[in-house]
Amino acid sequence: MGEHRNRATAKRDVPVMLAIGLIATLAGIALSFTIDWFPVQASAQADQIDTLWDILIVVSVPVFVIVCCVVGYSVFRFRARPGEEDIDGPPIHGSTKLEVIWTAIPAIVITGLVFYSWGVLRDIEKAPASTTKEMRVIVHGVQFAWTFEYPGIKVAGQPLKSDQLFVPKDESVKFLVKSEDVIHDFWVPAWRMKVDAVPGITTSYRITPTRLGTYPVVCAELCGLGHAFMRQTAHVLEPAAFVAWVAAKRKPAAAAPAAGGTGSGATASVDAKKLFVEGNGTATACGACHTLQGAGTTGQTGPNLNEVLKADTKAQIRTSIVDPQAEIAKGYAGGIMPPNYADSLSAAELDALVNYIYDDAHAG
C-alpha cells in the first residue's frame, strides 16, 4: 500500500525538487556575490585569484544547495505518516544509470577545475623576464614575530634587516620564507599569496605589489599562544621612496641619538600608557597579554605585572622587556613573549615604558 503511493509520487517529485533546487541555487549564488570576501587587490596576482574564487563559488554553490534541497524535500515529503510506523518502504536495488550520472558529472567538473586552477597557478607563479634583478626578501618567522632580511641590500657589510616589510611598487619580489621554531604561515591578505614557514626548509612565492599603502602581514598558522599577535605591516612605497628608506637605514647611527637617548626630555614625549595599551604598530601591545592596574589592562596570557615586578629594579624590568627569556615567571612557559622589543621600540619608548611599568608595579 505504502510502497505503491511512494513510487507513484516520486516521479512527480523530481521536477519539483529540481525547481526548488534551481531557485535556491540562484539565490545562493546571488547571496555569495554580495559578500565582500577579500580586502583590496594590492598585487598583480590578486585579480586572477579572485576570479578563480568567483568561479569556484558558481560551480560549488549549486552542488551544496541542490543536495540540501533534495535531502530536505525528501525528509519532509516522504516522512512516515501516522499509521505507517511499521512499514519499511519499497526495497531499493540501485540504479546503474543514476550512478553513472553522479560519477561522471562531478568527474568532468573536477577535471575542468583542475586544469583551470593549474593555469592560474602557472600564471601567478610566473617569473619576471629578468630574475637576476628581482628583489629577494628572506622572511623569518619566530614565535611570535616576523623579521625581514634583504640579502641584496647591504648595510655595513651585512644584509639589511627590518622588523617591518618595505617593498617598492610594481617590482616583482620573491619571498624566501623560513621558520626558526614551529610552523608559521606568511600571509599578506591584500596580496592573496600565502605560504607556510616550515622549520628546516625554505618555501617561497613571488608577488608584484601594484598598490601603494600599508597592509597587514599576518601569521595564518596556529603557532602558539601569541599566534594572534604575530602581525606586522607591509609598506608598499614608490621606488624612489624605497631607495630613500634604504638610504635612511644605512645611516641609523646618526639618526638614533636624536630619536632615542636616555634623557628625561625624550622620555616625556612618549605616551607610555598608550604605548602599553596599544603598542606602536610594530611592537605588540604589552596590555594584550599582561595585566597592569594603572593601564587598566587585564591580559592573562603573561604574568600580572603588578605582582611579578613589584620588587624588580628598572634595570630588571628593562631586561624582561628586551630579553624575555632571561627570567620566566613561575607558572608561565617561556618563548611566548615576542623577542623583538629591542628593535620594535625606540630608545625613548623603551625608557618611557620601563619608567611607566616600574612606577605602576611599585605603587601598590
Residue closer to ligand CUA (CB basis): 62 or 338: 338
Kindly state the smallest distance separating residue 141's Cβ from ligand CUA, in Å: 6
200: Cβ–Cβ under 8 A, 6 or more apart, which residues?
none
Kindly state the smallest distance separating residue 191's Cβ from ligand CUA, in Å: 18
Closest of 163, 157, 121, 156 to residue 139, by C-alpha: 163
**Location of C-alpha cell 619608567:** 355
Alpha-carbon distance of 112 to 132, in angstroms, equals 36
| 135 in Cβ contact with 173 (< 8 Å) | yes
Peptide bond into 144 cis (omega under 30): yes
Residue closer to ligand CUA (CB basis): 223 or 285: 223
Closest of 230, 257, 241, 234 to residue 335, by C-alpha: 230
Closest of 183, 203, 202 to residue 193, by C-alpha: 203
Residue closer to ligand CUA (CB basis): 216 or 239: 216
Kindly state the smallest distance separating residue 230's Cβ from ligand CUA, in Å: 4
Residue closer to ligand CUA (CB basis): 141 or 303: 141
Kindly state the smallest distance separating residue 199's Cβ from ligand CUA, in Å: 12
Kindly state the smallest distance separating residue 182's Cβ from ligand CUA, in Å: 7
Kindly state the smallest distance separating residue 157's Cβ from ligand CUA, in Å: 31
Kindly state the smallest distance separating residue 240's Cβ from ligand CUA, in Å: 33
Residue closer to ligand CUA (CB basis): 50 or 196: 196
**C-alpha triplet 192, 195, 199: angle, nearest 5°:** 160
Residue closer to ligand CUA (CB basis): 221 or 360: 221
Residue closer to ligand CUA (CB basis): 141 or 324: 141
Query: At residue 145, what is the residue type?
Result: A
* Positions in the binding site for ligand CUA (CB under 6 A): 141, 144, 184, 219, 221-223, 227, 230
- C-alpha cell recorded at residue 114: 583542475
Alpha-carbon distance of 15 to 93, in angstroms, equals 22
Alpha carbon distances (Å) from 105 to 108, 127, 228, 342: 5, 36, 42, 59
Residue closer to ligand CUA (CB basis): 344 or 355: 344
**C-alpha triplet 224, 232, 271: angle, nearest 5°:** 105
Kindly state the smallest distance separating residue 226's Cβ from ligand CUA, in Å: 8
Residue closer to ligand CUA (CB basis): 229 or 276: 229
Beta strands in the chain (DSSP E): 135-142, 145-155, 158-162, 165-168, 173-179, 184-187, 194-197, 203-207, 213-219, 231-237, 291-292, 297-298
- C-alpha cell recorded at residue 130: 629578468
75: Cβ–Cβ under 8 A, 6 or more apart, which residues?
none
Kindly state the smallest distance separating residue 180's Cβ from ligand CUA, in Å: 11
